[in-house]
Amino acid sequence: MLNSFWVWFPLVGSWSIRLGAFVVVPFRRTPEAARTWLLLFFVLPWVALPVYLALGRPRHSPERKARFERLPGVLERAFVDARLPDDSVDSPGGPGEPGSIDALTRSLCRMPPLLGNALELLPAYDETVARLVADIDSATRQVHLEFYIFADDATGDTVMRALERARGRGVTCRVLIDAMGSWSSARTVERRLVAAGARVVRILPLARRWRSSRLDLRNHRKIVVIDERIAYTGSQNLVDASANGALADTPLPNRELVVRLTGPGVLALQAVFLGDWYLETGEEIVERGEKDGIGEHGDVGHGGAYAMSGEPVEPVARHVLEDIRVQMLPSGPDYPAGSIDTLFASLVHDAERQVVLVTPYFIPNRPLAHSLVAAALAGVHVTLIVSRTADSRLVGPAQDSYYAELMRAGVRIERHVPAFLHAKHLRIDERVVVIGSSNMDMRSFELNAEISLIAYGERISRAVRDVEHELLEHAERVDPERWARRPLRRKLVENSARLFSDLL
């Protein structure tokens, strides 16, 4: 009897798992993602079962679910209580007419477009750190930081010293760190900043994830708000530029794009930060800004700029774009209405002349891939700029598997050579630019908490176009004919990786 049990149990158990997967997996999941999971269940059912239980669906503790339900009200109060200038909120109508991109963003963002902002593009890694430190040194009331990676290295030390100086002046400092992205440094960073009097909170601590969340959820946002007067967002983490782990003989520096923002848009980023703070702590913080100070440019104050060595650096000439209309889109599992991939696909469909997409990870869902192909076939000039060097042995081949289809439609693919291109932006004609933390992959679309800044108008579009031209000067174009002749073994690796692209 015992022998027959061990003969039949693996067979009956494996088929029970497979049949159960047929019932459970497709529920509220895209066909592509369901296909990938079902393939894994049918090939390796005993492996797929524990993996699915850990990663298959978001799940949250009752306490966190209750906070999710209250989050829209928290965001609204944080935004309204910020005392926006009377003339800063763009009124409905005109560009917000039904069917327009503006109407879509109003629906997705839950925050209206805001007028009267000043934007500065920061593509240089060390300059961004120096500007951030200088602005922290100018703070008089509060500093809020939220980062996926806050490392205990030279860059992190430079920022921590600025926060310590701010605390010495009595400035309130609150810091949110993703527990997974900063797992190797979170304890050290937290200990040091708490000793200085700052509040530090780890987002979804790993010890809590077993009962409150699927294990691989991440807060991928990069947000800085200083005195409700200056803000930063974009692609750059608080980590040394060469610490990207790229698969190269010599580590490559990261190439990033960050926006330094002053004006009413700062208060929208503040609201997103306060919403994330509430989700992690249950504390609802009301920060009331002064109308007269919101629109100021917030240039460097008494602290000055410091390089990572700690030595003062000379200020550089800066080009600030005035009177820019912006909107913030927080997205992720906590914002079910804020779907960034919906915005990307709709913007591409709306393009008339040009689409430029810059991303380190390009694993699109079907709507985005179709929109890029359709735009190219319709005569729109579509350019995809990616990094030549990947930093993942699985993501890189999966990304490569999409190139042939895109190039057949006429999409131009450029691979940036001298750095690991970690910047993330989408430009449509000379009308709309999206800059933020979101990659063009399923993880950013479905799992990660992301933040995107949407900027409207010809001036910001031209400024971003100048950044693109600099990237293209150091890029190599993928030749469709040579690409078609790549070795068969490489194609097999790409196609195998693509099978799991919906889970990456």
The tens digit of pLDDT for each residue in 423-433 reads 999 999 999 99
Beta-carbon count within 10 A of 436 CB: 28
Q: Where are the domains of the chain?
A: 2-55, 62-87+115-325, 340-503
pLDDT > 50? residue 169 = yes
Per-residue pLDDT band for 299 (boundaries 50, 70, 90) equals very low
| Extended strands (E) in 182-337 | 199-203, 222-226, 230-234, 254-255, 258-262, 321-331
Average pLDDT over residues 452-474: 96
Give the rounded distance of the alpha carbon of 476 from its chain centre: 26
Tell me the pLDDT of the chain averaged across its residues: 84
Average pLDDT over residues 181-185: 91
Per-residue pLDDT band for 314 (boundaries 50, 70, 90) equals very low
Give dist(CA 70, CA 64) in Å, integer.
10
Give dist(CA 332, CA 219) in Å, integer.
9
Average pLDDT over residues 237-259: 79
Per-residue pLDDT band for 62 (boundaries 50, 70, 90) equals confident
Q: What percent of the chain has pLDDT over 90?
A: 54
Predicted local confidence at residue 290, as pLDDT: 47
- Looking at per-residue pLDDT, the higher value among 102 and 424 belongs to 424
Name the strand (E) or helix (H) holding 132.
Answer: helix 125-137
Backbone angles phi, psi at 199, to 5 degrees: -95, 125
Instruction: Read off the amino acid at residue 325.
Output: R
Specify the CATH superfamily of domain 340-503: Endonuclease Chain A (3.30.870.10)
Name the strand (E) or helix (H) holding 291.
Answer: helix 291-294
Say whether 340-503 and 62-87+115-325 share the same fold: yes
pLDDT > 90? residue 348 = yes
Give dist(CA 455, CA 91) in Å, integer.
16
Closest CA to 200 of 282, 134, 145, 271: 145
What distances in angstroms separate CA 11 from CA 14, 25, 282, 330, one per listed residue? 5, 21, 48, 46
Predicted local confidence at residue 210, as pLDDT: 62
Q: Kindly report the CA angle at 122 between 121 and 125, in degrees rounded to 5?
A: 165
pLDDT > 70? residue 308 = no
Predicted local confidence at residue 430, as pLDDT: 94
Predicted local confidence at residue 234, as pLDDT: 97
What distances in angstroms separate CA 151 from CA 181, 183, 243, 423, 480, one per listed residue? 9, 9, 10, 19, 40
Name the strand (E) or helix (H) holding 456.
Answer: strand 450-456
Predicted local confidence at residue 87, as pLDDT: 63
If DSSP codes are grouped into helix, strand and coil, which group holds residue 79? helix
Q: What's 62-87+115-325's CATH class?
A: alpha beta
Least confident of 89-103, 104-118, 313-327: 89-103
Average pLDDT over residues 22-49: 76
pLDDT > 70? residue 151 = yes
pLDDT > 60? residue 305 = no
Least confident of 88-97, 168-177, 202-211: 88-97
If DSSP codes are grouped into helix, strand and coil, which group holds residue 482? helix
pLDDT > 50? residue 296 = no
pLDDT > 70? residue 2 = no
* pTM (two decimals): 0.87
Least confident of 83-92, 218-227, 255-264, 287-296: 287-296
Predicted local confidence at residue 187, as pLDDT: 94
Backbone angles phi, psi at 430, to 5 degrees: -120, 45
